[in-house]
Amino acid sequence: MIRNRRRRITYLFGCTAAALTLLTTAACSGNTSKVDEGSDADSGSGSKTVKLAYVAGWDEGVSATFLWKQILEDKGYKVDVRDLDIASTYAGIANKQADIYLDAWLPVTHETYWKKLGPKMEKLGTWYEPADLNLTVPKYVKDVNTIDDLKGKAGEFGGKIVGIEAGSGLMRLTRSPVLPDYGLKSEYELTESSTSAMLSALQKSINNKKPIVVTLWRPHWAYTKMQLKVLKDPKKAYGKPDKVQMVASKGYSKANPEVAGWLKNFHLTSSQLGSLELLLQKKGTGNEQAAAKEWIADNKQLVDSWLK
């Protein structure tokens, strides 16, 4: 994932104690950034300032965010991008201290947030589907093709499934129901780390041709860059695939029909998103918007189709 993108913006969301209790226990990235108390909270009717929230490390969302930052600035908007943890993101959108989040995984992965805060938000549309959570191994691991196949092979993988941020939806679902449903809870340790640490461990294992099993999701650039195999989930423990959706503060589309209309037209295929993510990876930290600008120039006809 795209890591350590920029200095965290610290700002405080006004949440109730109950909301904070829920948000700290639900699926989140582990980032602790908050929203500035002094930021301009109200979008206003037809505002020419757009506040986009994103979670650093979740590449599809980072890529979409900087893509739209460049598109909107080209259209004369001032765009404020805010790097938050997932809990603060949903709270901020609900409380109108941020306008739009482009990486909402619904209805499954971010279900807890949506159930609590959805009445204060609206969906602007789906820009990618299907989006699935999974366990993944390198393709050279020949004897494991389903999650069932992990049973009895813990020694081969060092007794570990390499995870990501402890509070993420992916980790929540892997802990339960995935591991219990497949009888793996006592055999494997689900390690908590970060997305970047997981990807580093995956690349190191591939370099050394060692077996490894990791928590991962699609869309992700790793499937383009590395030779990987998603383990089939015959018990459907991860549930049906999600849709990657855009959510905004309630009433945003009515107050800002131009931006909302453009976003409703926004769609990417797996190959289009993969090329965008890899370009951001190639350009490196701090150059996300430059990468987005280059991608827009190379895909002008597609981008123009969203702006009708």
List the chain pLDDT tens, one digit each, 308 residues: 333 333 333 333 333 333 333 333 333 333 434 444 334 334 444 679 999 999 988 899 999 999 999 999 999 999 999 999 889 999 999 999 999 999 999 999 999 999 999 999 999 999 999 999 999 999 999 999 999 999 999 999 999 999 998 878 899 999 999 999 999 999 999 999 888 899 999 999 999 999 999 999 998 989 988 999 999 999 999 999 999 999 999 999 999 999 999 999 999 998 899 999 999 989 988 999 999 999 999 999 999 999 99
pLDDT of amino acid 46? 62
Element of type H or E holding 70: helix 59-74
Helix, strand, coil distribution of the chain in percent, nearest 5: 40, 20, 40
pLDDT of res. 259: 98
> Among residues 208, 230, 252, which one ends one of the domains?
230
Question: Would you state the pLDDT for residue 169?
Answer: 87
Identify the domain containing residue 221 by its residue range. Answer: 131-230
The answer to whether 142 and 79 have CB atoms below 8 angstroms apart is no
Number of domains making up the chain: 2
Q: Is 296 within the bounds of a domain? A: yes
pLDDT given at position 38 = 36
Structural domain contains residue 8: no
What CA–CA distance (Å, rounded) separates 180 from 166?
18
237 located within any domain: no
State which of 197, 230, 263 marks the end of a domain. 230
113 in the same domain as 138:
no
Q: Determine, yes or no, domain membership for 10.
A: no
Spatial separation of the C-alpha atoms in residues 5 and 284, rounded to whole Å = 9
Say if 11 falls within a structural domain: no
pLDDT, position 75: 97
Q: In the numeric block, which tokens belong to residue 256?
A: 């800002």
For residue 104, count other CB atoms closer than 10 A to its CB: 28
Looking from the CA of 97 toward its CB, the CA atoms found within 13 Å total 20
Together in a domain, 293 and 249: yes
Both 135 and 183 in a single domain?
Answer: yes
**Are residues 301 and 167 part of one domain?**
no
pLDDT at res. 167: 76
Whether 100 and 166 share a structural domain: no
114 and 211: one domain? Answer: no
Measured over all CA atoms, what is the biggest interatomic distance in the chain, rounded to whole angstroms? 60
Same domain, 83 and 147: no
Residues 112 and 252 in one domain: yes
The CA R_g of the chain, rounded to the nearest whole Å, is 19
Which CATH number covers residue 52?
3.40.190.10
pLDDT for residue 196:
87
Is there a single domain that holds both residue 89 and residue 187? no
Give the span between the Cα atoms of 206 and 194, in whole angstroms: 18
Nearest to residue 218, comparing CAs of 60, 6, 34? 60
Of 203, 230, 257, which residue sits at a domain end? 230
- CATH code, domain carrying 211: 3.40.190.100
